[in-house]
Structure 1
């Protein structure tokens, strides 16, 4: 396949014990050959404000945009809050979509995953993210999907993904994401 596919990953939860942060750590453990995953913490990205943007990107925003631009693709793990994408996730995407021409999200391949204690495994949150990425002209991988439901039963107290079937499915998802990203990058 050639060079290694570089993936920037971030979670839409700021909670230290977040299942979605744990899912990204599991993804790093299960990364297939030919792929490298770097996790970025969006916790320092301030609320989007066009007045602040006009004065120049704050350091956390500049670092986030630079990390996206340097990556071949993205892996996003989103929880679902009140049937939707968390505000912190949408805020980070809003910053990364600026300015509209030349934004780091433009034409970037994206994989979306999520974990939730509920039965739908973040399906609504993932759907809303897909809508946001239509505007940014990002390329969301359509299939396979990974919706980790009843996450509290699949991770141990230390945040390790212990469910064998979920680990196997995540490994397959990552291989598909590597191939998806490779379609859009020159190797």
Structure 2
């Protein structure tokens, strides 16, 4: 039996009817077999304050770090606010980047996507998201940029209804899954070689 793959989904939007959360929920329903996508909310994460980090980290931050550490990979959805990723998401990534050199995201396979009412689909936020993930040394999945333009026309009944956008994102998640499998294989090879 193949081991299950656990992917953590993070939405950079707190809106009740967020298109990004709707897209993540759609992906969670579409994944099958041994792959599971679970969403973790960011609404309780306080603004980053180094004085409150370390042993004094807020419980919501400790819970987020534990969720990332327990995941095989991470799927991040970001809106584009003023040509950048949402402050909510940047703040969460700042917490996750700590402690320096020991981030739970370092080396972990991560795939990001953006969506926007604009035709550009949040391409500038996508670049900013990638730059932040590279700085944290996450294992960003190499895949054509996933941006979903005119997103509100593609959401129906709280789910991503556009087949082309859905399939393209699923292909990206497929690349994330392959990277997770490769990382697991390399870990087994290294551990086995040391015996």
Are residues 1:185 and 2:184 paired? yes
- What residue number does 1:51 align with? 51
**3-state SS of the aligned residue for 2:53?**
helix
Q: Give 1:52 deviation, angstroms.
A: 1.3
Does the CA-based 8 Å contact 1:23-1:115 persist in structure 2? no
Q: Give 1:173 deviation, angstroms.
A: 2.2
Gaps of 5+ in 2: 189-195
- Tell me the TM-score normalized by structure 1: 0.93
Q: Give 1:55 deviation, angstroms.
A: 5.6
- What residue number does 1:172 align with? 171
Count of paired positions: 186
Does the CA-based 8 Å contact 2:54-2:99 persist in structure 1? no
- What residue number does 2:10 align with? 10
- What residue number does 2:141 align with? 141
**3-state SS of the aligned residue for 1:104?**
coil
**3-state SS of the aligned residue for 1:167?**
helix
Q: Give 1:54 deviation, angstroms.
A: 4.9
Structure number, greater radius of gyration: 2
Q: Give 1:60 deviation, angstroms.
A: 0.3
- What residue number does 2:34 align with? 34
- What residue number does 1:154 align with? 154
Highest RCO, 1 vs 2 (Cα 8 Å, sep ≥ 6): 1
Q: In the TM superposition, what whole-angstrom CA distance separates every residue of 1:3-45 from its partner, at most 9, and x where no partner exists?
A: 1211111100111111111110011011143311110001100
The more displaced of 162-171 and 122-131 is: 162-171
Q: In the TM superposition, what whole-angstrom CA distance separates every residue of 1:156-180 from its partner, at most 9, and x where no partner exists?
A: 2x32211122222222222222112
Does the CA-based 8 Å contact 1:24-1:77 persist in structure 2? yes
**3-state SS of the aligned residue for 1:16?**
coil
- What residue number does 1:111 align with? 111
Are residues 1:85 and 2:85 paired? yes
